[in-house]
């Protein structure tokens, strides 16, 4: 994986390697028109190759595109659950995907097993690798730090590196202040309407 390229795409609050690959996938999502990175097979292949998440010979057709988009939806739902706590349906879908895509492992010199991070030659391999990265992040307690920005105008996946894991917005100075200012104006309007 090309960590520098993924960090460039994500821009801020970047997850550590290899979780950055899953965060990068989550942020291929288009909230603004023209931002969709998985709009068709060609754009999905381009993103995989730019990010060095697949080998140059990877083939991406409609089926593979649909699989990548499904994985992204599941990942985004799970990340969103890190903030709101409702992961039941996404967890069920992730479990089904995991039975269809066994994770490739490699053994280190000391016999320790890890996810094989060699860029796969197929989208099925990419999905298996991403599932392995999610699993490893869950084991290492990094997974709960990956969240979706609470701002309805943003919804960007960010890595919460705060000590108490209480981050809610990808950027406090934009998303957080916008939400806080709206809440303040609502309270002021409600107070004024009551005449107090």
Which tens digits make up the pLDDT trace of 33-75? 677 899 999 999 999 999 999 999 999 999 999 999 999 999 9
Q: What is the pLDDT of residues 158-180, one digit of tens each?
A: 998 888 776 776 765 657 444 44
Q: What is the pLDDT of residue 196?
A: 55
DSSP string, 161-188: --TT-----S-IIIIIHHHHHHHHHHHH
Q: Which CATH number fits domain 3-194: 1.10.3720.10, 1.10.10.10, 3.40.50.300, 1.10.3300.10?
A: 1.10.3300.10
Q: What is the pLDDT of residue 104?
A: 92
Distance CA 137, CA 27 (A): 18
Mean pLDDT of 100-115: 91
This prediction has a pTM of 0.84
């Amino acid at each position: 994986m090309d960590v520098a390229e993924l960090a460039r795409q994500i821009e801020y609050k970047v997850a550590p390697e290899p979780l950055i690959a899953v965060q990068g996938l989550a942020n291929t999502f288009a909230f603004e028109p023209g931002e969709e990175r998985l709009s068709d097979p060609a754009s999905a292949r381009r993103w995989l190759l730019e990010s060095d998440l697949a080998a140059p010979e990877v083939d991406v057709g409609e089926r593979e595109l649909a699989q990548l988009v499904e994985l992204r939806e599941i990942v985004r739902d799970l990340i969103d659950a890190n903030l709101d706590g409702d992961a039941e349906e996404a967890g069920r879908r992730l479990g089904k995907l995991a039975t269809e895509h066994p994770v490739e492992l490699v053994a280190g010199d000391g016999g320790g097993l890890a996810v094989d991070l060699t860029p796969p030659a197929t989208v099925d391999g990419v999905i298996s690798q991403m599932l392995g990265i999610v699993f490893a992040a869950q084991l290492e307690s990094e997974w709960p730090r990956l969240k979706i920005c609470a701002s309805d105008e943003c919804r960007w996946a960010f890595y919460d590196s705060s000590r108490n894991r209480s981050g809610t917005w990808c950027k406090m100075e934009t998303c957080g202040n916008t939400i806080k200012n709206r809440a303040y104006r609502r309270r002021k309007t409600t107070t004024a309407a009551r005449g107090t």
